[in-house]
A = this chain, B = another copy of it.
């Protein structure tokens, strides 16, 4: 009896996605006890107060008004040119760095992460990110035989741990000479942290020093999947301008996702953006990603790309879109403020939240706590270092109630 047909590197244990498993239990509870009696904070998608997914009308009206042929046809392999232009325009706003920039379409932000990991590291390499991190980074890394190394995101005072980042970065760069680091900001998943402008100055200053050695190759992937829900206006994009005039051996990539900003999760639309002082290096980026894309997903969702392009380039459509997004961004901020304020009042410790869909609660035995919370009809995602509460999917009223329940459960499980 043959037991294996896949190659050794492709043997992975059968396992369910833990987030979807918990989300399934939450939905079952909603059916049994009624939506009003369940707090389901599992899924990372924006929901209204009735628990219904928010799909921007200003987006789907444009999407559906396209002729059938525009939806049916293949996209150009690197993405539709006007989409790629629109991505750059909407991503950088007034903070376009002084650099050569090229952009290529990907299926969501995941595709851009995949491009960075595959094309900028070698099998066996360590990839550096923070200890609170989006779990699929591990999946993407291990798929190609790479590993994730981490530094502590927050120091003992709960501040962003630039010192720890630098220390670990230097260790790995000295060993490998080539290092990819993934910085998930603004509105970090799962903590909601956004690296400040001053912290970016500190990071970039450090990277420039490391880059003095021409044998070193430094690649920074800015995973900005949640940037469209960070800050009030465009203040959370300001750091992008700092990627100007960098040495040639610092290459910046950004992951753009239309999933959140355009509520296009299921349409698989995103982009990888390459930023360098060298034209050759962004051209090389483009060729590498073009080859990878052709060899994996071929091309992207044409109708989704054209919709984004149409919205960005048409003033009426753009205003309608921005108004709708702002309304929901305000809703999201109210929910998060309510949660954070109540947590402060009762002394529930959080990791520093700035923006975005998630708030994280550090705790011991997160899996036990998550399980205990299920019995109180509160569903959160357990992570290695704590719990992830998705304010994006929970009403303000429930965001007020949740901290007390969570605090009690953490104390009961000490």
Interface string of A70-93 (1 = CB under 8 A from B): 111111110000000000000000
- A264-306: which residues lie under 8 A (CB-CB) from chain B? 264-268, 276, 278, 280-281, 283-288, 290-292, 294-303
Contact among B10, B53, B259, B294 with A292 in the assembled complex (CB-CB below 8 Å): B10
Across the interface, do B69 and A53 meet the contact criterion of CB distance under 8 Å? yes
Across the interface, do A217 and B71 meet the contact criterion of CB distance under 8 Å? no
Q: Which candidate, A30-38, A111-119, A341-349, A397-405, is the interface stretch facing chain B?
A: A111-119
Shortest C-beta distance, A230 to chain B (Å), equals 20
Interface string of A45-69 (1 = CB under 8 A from B): 1000000111101001001100111
Q: Does A234 sit within 8 A of B, measured CB to CB?
A: no
Across the interface, do B69 and A294 meet the contact criterion of CB distance under 8 Å? no
Across the interface, do B264 and A122 meet the contact criterion of CB distance under 8 Å? no
Residues of chain B contacted by A67 (CB below 8 angstroms) = 55
Known: A6-B288, A20-B76, A287-B13. A294 touches B248 (CB 8 A): no
Q: Which candidate, A136-144, A236-244, A331-339, is the interface stretch facing chain B?
A: A136-144
Q: Does A108 sit within 8 A of B, measured CB to CB?
A: yes
Residues of chain B contacted by A121 (CB below 8 angstroms) = 7
Across the interface, do A248 and B45 meet the contact criterion of CB distance under 8 Å? no
Residues of chain B contacted by A10 (CB below 8 angstroms) = 118-120, 288, 291-292
Shortest C-beta distance, A62 to chain B (Å), equals 11
Residues of chain B contacted by A120 (CB below 8 angstroms) = 5-7, 10
CA A48 to CA B248, docked complex, whole Å: 50
Closest to A251 in B: B5
Contact among B6, B63, B292 with A119 in the assembled complex (CB-CB below 8 Å): B6
Residues of chain B contacted by A3 (CB below 8 angstroms) = 280-281
Across the interface, do B2 and A214 meet the contact criterion of CB distance under 8 Å? yes
Q: Does A414 sit within 8 A of B, measured CB to CB?
A: no
CA A202 to CA B8, docked complex, whole Å: 31
Q: Does A370 sit within 8 A of B, measured CB to CB?
A: no
- A86-133: which residues lie under 8 A (CB-CB) from chain B? 107-108, 110-111, 114, 118-122
Residues of chain B contacted by A52 (CB below 8 angstroms) = 69
Q: Does A41 sit within 8 A of B, measured CB to CB?
A: no
Shortest C-beta distance, A143 to chain B (Å), equals 4
Contact among B214, B281, B297, B303 with A297 in the assembled complex (CB-CB below 8 Å): B297
Across the interface, do A296 and B114 meet the contact criterion of CB distance under 8 Å? yes
Shortest C-beta distance, A204 to chain B (Å), equals 17
Contact among B60, B72, B75, B295 with A60 in the assembled complex (CB-CB below 8 Å): B72
Q: Does A411 sit within 8 A of B, measured CB to CB?
A: no
Q: List 22 A-B contacts (CB under 8 A).
A: A2-B217, A3-B280, A5-B249, A5-B276, A5-B285, A7-B122, A10-B292, A13-B287, A14-B286, A53-B72, A55-B68, A55-B69, A63-B71, A72-B265, A73-B266, A75-B266, A114-B296, A136-B294, A143-B292, A266-B302, A267-B302, A268-B301
Other CB < 8 Å A-B pairs besides A7-B121, A71-B266, A75-B266, 17 of them?
A1-B278, A3-B280, A7-B119, A7-B122, A10-B119, A10-B120, A14-B286, A15-B287, A20-B77, A53-B69, A53-B72, A55-B71, A60-B72, A107-B268, A108-B297, A111-B296, A136-B298
